[in-house]
Amino acid sequence: MSDYSKSVLMGQKIAFLGLGAMGSRMAARLLEAGYDLSVFNRTPDRAAPLVGRGASFEDSPRAAAAGCDIVISMVRDDEASREIWLDPGRGALAGLRDEAIAIESSTLTPAWVEQLSLAMAERQLRFIDAPVVGTRPQAEAGQLIYLVGGEVAVLERVRAVLLTIGGAIHHAGPIGAGTVMKLAVNALFGIQVAALGEALGMTRRSGISDADAIEALSSMPVTSPALKGVGALVAARKFDPMFPIELVDKDMGYYVKTAERLGSNTPTGSAVRAVYRQAIEAGFGGDNIAGVAKVFD
């Protein structure tokens, strides 16, 4: 990195709101790149490792956003996003300066993203929705994939920041389009994983081991690269959370809800969501998505 480029980075201040399993790793990438970073999390202890590396912790989203050039949110759901941005006393929106750019990277409903964009527009603030595809290893490696909704001109203003965290950016269309695409991606993945679990339930009962079934399936074009990775986890019975089933269920619910709002039919998505609900009821909600296979044991 040239001295000039480094000086530009060091002069740009970013706020990161939400330091869960993904957010903490994404924020760490910004610190490593040399950005001046302020952070907020509802549980302050989660911020300690980042503060130890140079981030400043603020006690509210509003305080974290104050004076920043870019503010990024990465939280669990619509309700958490609403609180982060629009809480009357503590929300980040009230702390944004007029020139700031707001980025919502959480997996949410397009309906809420549209509401949030209207709140931003009332103050004439620049805003994009930029959810990410990938889990913890991709976040640590800076290889997340961004799906962006919003004006291209705004995206170009923050492209360098996004590429510090991710390895690719896809502009999906106007505000909300990134969120629609993220729900489509997660639904497609969730459907595949549930189908794999169901198929393995049958082969297992026939006497074929999961390892042998996965080896055969992985050699065939019907098995996507992502599904091969899940299959290996199922065969090894490794279900440590990377994409927990409880979040898969949340995203599948958002997918079905969004489709209904758009007048689109989702018989497959609705049926598969019921499988993830069954997994949660069986006590597997904290397992990685691969753990849905246990429903078919």
100 φψ region: left (φ > 0), alpha (ψ -120 to 50), beta (else): beta
User: Given a cut of 50, is residue 6 above it in pLDDT?
Assistant: no
Burial 144-167 (b: 16+ CB within 10 A, else e): bbbbbbbeeebbeebeebbebbbe
Sign of the CA dihedral running 134, 138, 139, 144: negative
Domains of the chain, residue spans: 3-174, 181-296
The second-level CATH assignment, the architecture, of 181-296 is Orthogonal Bundle (1.10)
Taking residues 182-209, what's their average pLDDT?
A: 98
- pLDDT tens-digit series, residues 134-145: 999 999 999 999
Bridge partners, 101 (sequence order)? 70, 126
User: Band of the pLDDT at 41, cuts 50, 70, 90?
Assistant: very high
Place of tokens 């079905």: 256
Q: What pLDDT is stored for residue 147 in this prediction?
A: 98
Measuring CA to CA, how many Å separate 59 from each of 19, 23, 85, 87, 274? 13, 17, 14, 14, 39
Rounded to whole angstroms, the Cα distance separating 235 from 290 reads 10
Burial 17-46 (b: 16+ CB within 10 A, else e): bbbbbbbbbbbbbbbebbbbbbbbbeeeeb
- pLDDT tens-digit series, residues 130-178: 999 999 999 999 999 999 999 999 999 999 999 999 999 999 999 999 9
Measuring CA to CA, how many Å separate 126 from each of 77, 105, 180, 283, 286? 22, 15, 20, 42, 36
Reduce the DSSP state of residue 96 to 3 states and report it: coil
User: Given a cut of 60, is residue 94 above it in pLDDT?
Assistant: yes
User: Band of the pLDDT at 4, cuts 50, 70, 90?
Assistant: very low
Domains 3-174 and 181-296 agree in fold: no
Pairing of strands 144-149, 166-173: parallel
Share of the chain above pLDDT 90, in %: 96
- pLDDT tens-digit series, residues 256-291: 999 999 999 999 999 999 999 999 999 999 999 999
Taking residues 102-120, what's their average pLDDT?
A: 98
Q: What pLDDT is stored for residue 2 in this prediction?
A: 39
User: Given a cut of 70, is residue 3 above it in pLDDT?
Assistant: no
Q: Are 38 and 60 in contact (CB under 8 A)?
A: no
Q: Are 171 and 276 in contact (CB under 8 A)?
A: no
User: Band of the pLDDT at 60, cuts 50, 70, 90?
Assistant: very high
Cα 246 from chain centre? 14
The domain 3-174: what is its CATH number? 3.40.50.720
User: Residue 75 is encoded by which pair of tokens?
Assistant: 């939280």
State the DSSP H helix or E strand holding residue 51, giving kind and residue range, or none if neither.
helix 48-52
